[in-house]
Structure 1
Amino acid sequence: MARSEFRTEAFYEALDRARLIRRLNWKQVAEASGVSASTLTRLAQGKRPDVDSLASLVSWSGLSADAFVGGRLKPQATEPLSQITRVLYADQSLSEDGRDTIIDMITAAYARLTKNAK
Structure 2
Amino acid sequence: MAKTQIDTGRLFAVLEARTTDENLSWRQAAIQIGVSPSLLSRLRYGQRPDLDGYASIVRWLRMSADDFIEVEGDDVAQAGETSLITEISALLRKRRDLTEADKSYIEDVVRASLDHIRRSKAAQEPDDRS
Regarding TM over 0.5, the answer is yes
2:51 aligned with 1:58, yes or no?
no
CA distance in 2, matches of 1:21, 1:63: 16
Using structure 1 for the length normalisation, give the TM-score: 0.57
Amino acid at match of 2:34: G
2:49 aligned with 1:68, yes or no?
no
Structure number with greater Rg is 2
2:43 aligned with 1:48, yes or no?
no
Among the aligned pairs, what percent are the same residue?
36
May I ask how many residue pairs the two structures share in their alignment?
A: 78
Higher-strand-fraction structure: 2
Amino acid at match of 1:15: L
Partner of 1:4: 4
CA distance in 1, matches of 2:47, 2:55: 15
Gaps of 5+ in 2: 72-76, 82-87, 93-109, 114-130
Using structure 2 for the length normalisation, give the TM-score: 0.52
CA distance in 2, matches of 1:6, 1:50: 11
Gaps of 5+ in 1: 74-79, 85-101, 106-118
Partner of 2:106: none
Partner of 1:98: none
CA distance in 2, matches of 1:64, 1:57: 10
Amino acid at match of 1:38: S
RMSD: 2.4
Deviation, 1:6, is 1.2
